[in-house]
């Protein structure tokens, strides 16, 4: 019985690695079943389920929000997206990041207080040390 090496990885870590006799993935043009010695293939994944039939044991399911599937005759690599990559979501978070930058530039950020407090603290410490030295001289 031939088998195929399956690696499911995302940017945040390895999700699955092992030998399998069959893998199913939600390709962009429809679900793909990959058996050992499949022709080299590169495709985008839709959000959906990746199913792995391991050599022994139960079928395993993984949910991916999208990604890239690379197939080589003896190896399948699923490069899963860990972030939701829906275009509108990206736009929203891009907008939020820009907003934050503007807030920072305008200087109306809640964190300034903490920064200021830290600076004050450093100054107070310096003053304390100076007082310390003066005392020693007396």
Partner 1 sequence: MAVGKEIRTKITSVKNTQKITSAMEMVAASKLRKTQDRMKAARPYADGIRRVIGHLSQASPDFHNPYLEEREVKRVGYLVVTSDRGLCGSLNVNVFRALLNDIKGWQDKGAEVDLCILGAKGVAFFRRLKTNIVSVATHLGDVPKMSDLIGAITVMTDAYKAEKIDRLFLAHNIFVNTMSQTPKIATLLPVEPVDSKELQQHWDYIYEPDAAELLTDVLERYVEAQIYRAVVENIACEMASKMVAMKSATDNAGKFIDQLQVAYNKARQAAITQEISEIVGGAAAV
The b-or-e profile of 14-39 (16+ CB within 10 A means b, else e) is ebbeeebbbbbbbbeeeebebebebe
Q: How many helices (H) and strands (E) does the chain have?
A: 2, 8
Interface with partner 1, residue 100, by CB under 8 A: yes
Is 11 or 58 the residue whose CB approaches partner 1 more closely? Answer: 11
- Provide the minimum distance between the beta carbon of 2 and partner 1 in the complex, in angstroms, as a whole number: 19
Residue 118 corresponds to which tokens in the numbers above?
């830290």
117 touching partner 1, by CB under 8 A: no
Comparing C-alpha atoms, which of 80, 76, 77 is closest to residue 67? 80
92 binds partner 1 (CB under 8 A): yes
Stretch touching partner 1 by CB under 8 A, among 18-26, 36-44, 49-57:
36-44
Q: Applying CB under 8 A, which residues contact partner 1?
A: 7, 9-14, 27-29, 39-44, 67-68, 70, 77, 79, 81-85, 90-98, 100-101, 104-105, 107, 111, 115, 118
């Amino acid at each position: 019985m031939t088998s195929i090496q399956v690696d499911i990885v995302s940017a945040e870590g390895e999700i699955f690695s092992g030998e399998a006799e069959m893998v199913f993935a939600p390709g962009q043009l429809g679900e793909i079943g990959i058996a050992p010695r499949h022709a080299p293939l590169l495709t985008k994944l839709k959000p959906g389920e990746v199913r792995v039939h391991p050599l022994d044991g139960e079928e395993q399911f993984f949910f991916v929000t999208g990604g890239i599937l690379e197939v080589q005759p003896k190896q399948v690599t699923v490069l899963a997206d860990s972030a939701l990559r829906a275009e509108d979501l990206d736009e929203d978070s891009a907008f939020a990041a820009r907003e934050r930058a503007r807030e920072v530039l305008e200087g109306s950020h809640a964190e300034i207080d903490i920064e200021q407090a830290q600076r004050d603290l450093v100054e107070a410490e310096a003053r304390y040390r100076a007082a310390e030295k003066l005392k020693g001289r007396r």
